[in-house]
Amino acid sequence: MQLWQPLKRREGYLPIEDHGLIGDGRGCALVGRDAEISFMCVPRFDQDPVFCSLLDRRHGGGFRLSPDGVRASRQRYVDDTAVLITELRTDTGVLEVTDAFLLRPGTRLEEDAPAAAGELIRQVRVIEGEVTLRVRLEPRGGARIRRRGDDWMFHCARQGITLSLWSSRPVTPSDGVLRLQAGQKLSLRLRWEGSPSPCPSAEAGLESTVRAWKRWASFVVDDVPQSDLVRRSALTLKLLDHFENGAIIAAPTSSLPEHIGGTRNWDYRYAWIRDAAYTVFALRRIGLPSEAGDFLQWALEAARHNHQPRVLYDVDGEVPPPEVEDDGLEGYRRSAPVRWGNAAGEQTQHDVYGEILDCAFQRAATGGTFDETLWDWLAGLAERAAHAWRSPDHGIWEVRTSGRPFTYSAAMCQVALDRAARLARRLGLPGDADRWAREADPPGIFGGRLPGAVRRSLTGALR
């Protein structure tokens, strides 16, 4: 368990590592060690965020549960789940906050099916002493607030979404104050439009969600070093998975800086073929083939649908929106600009040929087949890769200058040819497998053959 640590902010911001991730396979949120939800995008990963104080403490909006007199805090997950617990020690007591995106009752995360209940639950319990707790829910851009029965309704024009907040104790969400004694609890349920019918109770919903995550984690193989850490890593990757179609986003956030004060602040809430291909390779190795199969199907369909293979897609397999800079936010620790969308979606990056052909190779390894139309398209990508490696591109680094030759891009073109040759030979598919195999290692690349270590890492790591 994490040790108690004081909250230390710089320029008003918690360290990035002082946050936990929760989600439901459609959207997600970051919860700080101060119990604030400082970034949340619902109902989709790539929506305009409802809360993003992570990118601007004053104007980003957040969902704050702030005990008076906090001295230290710590975070942990309920074992083998995506249910997060934040504990805060104050001058007068100890408070525990449990955060989770609820899953639908009976959800089986190993199946390719909708799982999101469309609800965030926040359960507060005073463990010892007494605590004065301040509650504030403030969407970015403000909201029109009204009462409807027992719920507070937030009509968020900027995001085009309506939120409803229910609480087990009377509380004013704009600036509520509660005094809780040891053993007393507060439940908060935040839902958004279009959500399925709610779980019968907060406790039942949370218990069902814990069971679903534990069941999924039980499929991770145990005969690996530090299996508990492997399961935790797998759970984090699963939180980046769009459960309904298999897309896997690169990260749940936008515009966290490469270095503080720098301008390399990109929106990573999209599916990079390259990143996700390595992700599913890892998941397959630890006993999770369904995630791999779902992604491979999604990736091949997305690439075919757009004719020209792209570096990244949104979760629907479409081209991401144009990149824009948001002047209304100062950026994490004033690292501007904040960006939404990603211009890399329009770049030329030749490594995509290798990643797509490797996706096809992995699909075959799990029993997948290829109809004539799909194989003709894949074989055409191999032919393009045979020539593309000689041309400049923007590379894995996604440089925003004119193209140049990149070793990785050329090497991944070799991977494309290697995979095409192996698929043709193993499955008896049409194509010049012998020529593809020869061109997978032409003497002209890098002045000769790739060194053995480089070859193993680039052409063997994904097998």
Whose CA is closest to 352, among 308, 302, 290, 310? 310
Residue 121 phi, psi dihedral angles, 5° rounding: -115, 140
pLDDT of residue 453: 43
Cβ 269 vs Cβ 249: under 8 Å: yes
pLDDT of residue 365: 82
Residue 463 pLDDT grade (very low, low, confident, very high; cuts 50, 70, 90): very low
Half-sphere exposure of 210 (CA within 13 A, CB side): 15
Res 76 pLDDT > 50: yes
Res 458 pLDDT > 60: no
Please give the Cα distance from 416 to 139 (Å, whole number).
46
Whose CA is closest to 268, among 203, 342, 196? 342
Residue 158 pLDDT grade (very low, low, confident, very high; cuts 50, 70, 90): very high
Does this model's pTM top 0.75? My answer is yes
Please give the Cα distance from 312 to 275 (Å, whole number).
9
pLDDT of residue 363: 82
Give the orientation angle of helix 273-285 with respect to helix 351-365, to 10 degrees. Answer: 30
| Surface-to-core class of residue 116, CB atoms within 10 Å of its CB (0-12 exposed, 13-18 middle, 19+ buried) | buried
pLDDT of residue 439: 87
Which domains does the chain carry? 19-197 (2.70.98.50), 271-460 (no CATH)
Res 350 pLDDT > 50: yes
pLDDT of residue 323: 95
Res 64 pLDDT > 50: yes
Cβ 240 vs Cβ 247: under 8 Å: no
* Average pLDDT score over residue span 117-130: 97
Question: 203: which residues sit within 8 A by CB, 6+ positions away?
Answer: none
Question: Average pLDDT of the chain?
Answer: 90
Res 448 pLDDT > 80: no
Res 459 pLDDT > 60: no
Res 17 pLDDT > 50: yes
Cβ 406 vs Cβ 396: under 8 Å: yes
Please give the Cα distance from 440 to 378 (Å, whole number).
15
pLDDT of residue 395: 86
| Ramachandran area for residue 396 (φ above 0: left; ψ -120 to 50: alpha; else beta) | alpha
Res 123 pLDDT > 90: yes
